[in-house]
Amino acid sequence: MVTARLTIDPHFTVGPINRRLFGSFVEHLGRCVYDGLYEPGHPTADAEGFRQDVIDLVKELGVSTIRYPGGNFVSGFRWEDSVGPVGERPRRLDLAWHSTETNEVGLHEFSSWLEKVGSELMLAVNLGTRGTLEALDLLEYSNLPGGTALSQQRIDNGRTDAFGVKMWCLGNEMDGPWQLGHRSAEDYGTLASQTAKAMRQLDPSVELVACGSSSAHMPTFGEWERVVLSHTYDDVDYISCHAYYQEKNGDLGSFLASAVDMDHFIDSVVATADHVKAVLGSSKTVNISFDEWNVWYLDRYENVDKIEGIDNWPVAPRLLEDAYSVADAVVFGNLLISLLRHADRVTSASLAQLVNVIAPIMTEPGGPAWKQTTYFPFALTSRLATGDALDVKLEADSYETAVYGTVPLVDAVATHDTATGATSVFLVNRSQSEPATVTIDTAALGAVTVREAQTLADADTSAKNVLGDPERVGLSATEGIEVRDGGLTLTLPPVSWTAISLG
């Protein structure tokens, strides 16, 4: 039997939880947009062609800010293609994913969809094949109320009020050799600084995200952040992090400990940003936008999905449609724990992506939409994690991993909302064979009751929700919680994720 002890004290806080931590990402990639959120012929489609069943699932998921339109896609994107009469928009080649973009859904349509689901737009500008002037044009089109040619063009295209976009990404993964317009840290930092300064001249209220490393395992990691921030520190609000995880070579033990890598990634970027702050003598603090994170079986894309050939440019092909297992969802939930644990510095994050493409929501053309296993930890954490993230004291048995060394078998984080008095606890048991008995010291909270407790687990850790069996895996009530004065005890099944709401 695995044992762990957790102490919760609302006086010891990490920082307030920004709702933007529960953001997501929609890229013009595969079937994310077309046949995903947009399918005019679907039985549930509304007047604009958006699937109502998907809208309902997105609202239940509880996503806040949604990053758009990429991703690698944005580095070859001409934003002008996505506005104006739909029938007159050009079809373009998307070199990033070797596909054809029809531009049926563009800035106006996507903004309308965001209003339906109640999410905020986070817009990326192309600093791959384009630059400062095009970014300024898009900002003027989007945010200026009127009085200029571009703002009038927006009005003529049917949008009288400005879009009022606050968050802007200055390009995407510019450290990656795969990226159109890939640059050195020096060149990108110079361009990002110039673009940021120009955008603030037009709209001083914008919040800007500089590209950090696309992985903590990039050969330029660390030095990239240092150089880019040396150029942009006083011009931007965020530096981005991107991270994806997958089980490799049957090493489930290391995969279950993926949050250890995310913790290290965040801590390293924070240290680098604060180093640049000290060197520059700056009074501001640059935070992290972890605007791409998920479980992604990248090897499958390279070996199975990848499209090639000069005469092969399909529209909305099936790409990156990973079906997620219980084990994937437990790792996913643990990544959410890592993000909450760093709520003082990670104040924006985007689950990549939202529909069909490595996504919590799947659809079939003309057919149903359903929840993947990863849907459940995100929806429940988004709903329960309010107020402040707490600095909890955790003591747990450990195990050895091939990749990360000695790792605790139980991981956890807690949140506390002083306004409502609600406290939430999120836990994972990484053991593949043993249940974990966890004792939670709640004496500092006073008398508590369990408002809600749900667990994601299954005897078959490879079980998935798929088209033929879309409800195979779900949440179940957490059984056997013993509440006593000053604490509670519960048992976590092997390879499980649990959320508890206390009042």
> Which residues belong to the active site?
173, 292
Nearest C-alpha neighbor of 218 from the set 170, 182, 166, 250 = 182
3-state secondary structure 370-408: EECCCHHHHHHHHHHCCCEEECCEEEECEEEECCCEEEE
Nearest C-alpha neighbor of 472 from the set 297, 324, 252 = 324
Q: Which residues lie across from 338 on neighbouring strands?
A: none
396 neighbors 409 (Cβ within 8 angstroms): yes
Instruction: Establish how many alpha carbons lie within 13 A of residue 126's alpha carbon, considering only the half-sphere containing its beta carbon.
Output: 20
| Rounded Cα gap, residues 497 and 155, in angstroms | 48
What 3-state class would DSSP assign to 113?
Answer: helix
Cβ neighbours of 478 (radius 10 Å): 21
Listed in sequence order, the DSSP H helices in 305-390 are 326-341, 375-384
| Rounded Cα gap, residues 128 and 195, in angstroms | 13
3-state secondary structure 119-157: CEEEEEECCCCCCHHHHHHHHHHHHCCCCCHHHHHHHHC
| Rounded Cα gap, residues 278 and 272, in angstroms | 10
Token readout for 446 is 């006073």
Token readout for 299 is 């090897």
124 neighbors 168 (Cβ within 8 angstroms): yes
Nearest C-alpha neighbor of 330 from the set 498, 500, 501 = 498
- Give the amino acid at 154: R
Cβ neighbours of 382 (radius 10 Å): 20
Token readout for 182 is 């890939």
Q: Which residues lie across from 429 on neighbouring strands?
A: 410, 496
| Rounded Cα gap, residues 205 and 268, in angstroms | 29
Q: Alpha carbon of 435 to those of 2, 325, 346, 394: distances in Å? A: 6, 19, 31, 17
326 neighbors 456 (Cβ within 8 angstroms): yes
Token readout for 325 is 């297992």
What is the dihedral angle through the alpha carbons of 309, 311, 314, 317, rounded to the nearest 10 degrees?
A: -20
Q: Give Cα 334 distance to the centre of its chain.
A: 13
Instruction: Establish how many alpha carbons lie within 13 A of residue 321's alpha carbon, considering only the half-sphere containing its beta carbon.
Output: 17
What 3-state class would DSSP assign to 194?
Answer: helix
